[in-house]
Structure 1
Amino acid sequence: MDPHQAVAYRAAPAPDSDDLIAEPETTSKADPEPDDVFAQFVDEIPATGQAARAEFLSNRGYFVCRQVFVQHLDGSPTRPSTLGSLVTAGQLRALLLYLLVIACEHRLASNRRLPAQTWARMLTTANYPCSTAQFRKAVSVLEERQLVRARWIGTSVELWPGYENGNGEAWEQPTGADEDPDLKRYFTLPNEFFDDAVLDRLRLPGVAMLLVALKETSRDSTFSISVERYAAWYGFSERTAERGYRELANAGLTRTHKQMIKDPRSGRGGLRARYHRTLLGPFATQARTDARRRAQDSVHASARAQAAAQTEAGHS
């Protein structure tokens, strides 16, 4: 064998440690674990009934309902109206559903189709759940009274509200311009009507009396109605009215003032008690008036801004 060739296969001696040149250390960031890549995507919790309702309620903070829902005009053959029939039939869920449908109408008009489960969730409060079967029953009750028209598509439904007096005509936003005098007047309900804090503390008598109080305080901040008149005026009993007043008081929604007035028929020294009531918080007359004014100011400001933008575009 050629000696030069053999040398070529000899291992080279290891260099002395002093001869080594230190190279800068480099660190490479390890690829993130698969779970870390998605750490920013956190599961959201299911919407509560109140949160679901808030998605469809008006941003202006209130909705409106014609007074004929509560009572026909003075001078009508009968004063009780839709509210009385729903109360005497014990239809709290149908009552709330109708009000919810008209409250959400501005959001649903462009796309009415919603799963029945979504409607059931919107009718659910912290203490009182609503199933899809209960929702379907409430829809049937309203259809029978011509208060809604429903079209089912599988497990979803489209709801069209009818007028508050159940005349079968398609509902339109109240403006006070209706030709029928019974349909001209309306009252304001704050969105807080649908808060769990309210609905969980009121049952059917309380909800009925809250609607009566909202209607009666559309202009004046106080009202006084003898419970003996409720059957003839609103279509439900004195007992229901008294229970409703207690529920409102216990929920902190009303304040009552007792006034002694002359009554020659009274055995109490010719005096009898008259009770004056007022609503509190967002239900108070002034609070509702302020909400309407803010909404009107917002509309006017938006119109002015739009007009200014169009003028500026025309000059450019």
Structure 2
Amino acid sequence: MPPARRANIGRRTRNANDVALLRRSQTADERAQANASQRERNARNRFVNPVPVLNLARPSRIRRAVLAEMMRAAFNYNSQIDYSMYGYIGMMDAICPHCDAANFRGETPGMCCANGKVRLPALETPPEPLYSFIFGTSQASKHFLSHIQQYNSAFQMTSFGATKIIRDNFMPTFKIQGQIYHQAGSLLPYPDADHQFLQIYFIGDENRELDQRCAIVSNTRREIIRELQRFFHQHNALVQLFKIALDRMPTDNRKIVIRADRTPFGEHARRFNAFKVKHFTFVV
């Protein structure tokens, strides 16, 4: 059977009526003293039986507050802060059984090497003098590592290009729209023009080539560039290939025909697609 309804539902109970009658009969001082006594009793009850305080802040506000607090925290690391409270993903102690790569425990297994399907050859030890410059402890090695970008620019073969490059004010980076490409240019400079990029490799004189590299890039040492220059001429396959191509083509009277519909047997079809750009380079 359903429970019986209360007879006084929606009405004042006898206790409520008695309390209201008592309040009407009290003076202002008596009412203030009664309120103070009630507050003391409530405080004692909260101390004996504390009620947990609920965090009524929205999760989105909490996330925004955490992100604001951790903004650029990697650039201002403080060893006194426990960063695990902001989101701890664990250590990279999950070792792949196929390639021995260190992964986080929450990462999808097999993403590093596709469960052993991808096998990369082991890194070979670089020959001298590159090995001494990278792993050495001499003053020349320290100077090379601290100015490695300048030395890389001294030996670059191509320049960077794009359909549209957007540079905003006071921004160290830039935006690119369209196609990215490398500008190689001709193997020999135009008349009355200096050698640059790949053309420097074909000057033919070691000292002139060395002078040109030192002139276009500052904060470099001549003796380091000389050793690297000899290293590239001896070990770089592209430099040797370009020099052979230049020796075999004494003139520019050549005609090149592209037939994208005739792919050589055993080669990938997309490797011989027809070009969609206006300028490109051939190596014969």
Higher relative contact order (CA 8 A, sep 6+): 1
**TM-score over 0.5 for the alignment?**
no
Q: Which is richer in strand? A: 1
Provide the TM-score with structure 1 as the length reference: 0.22
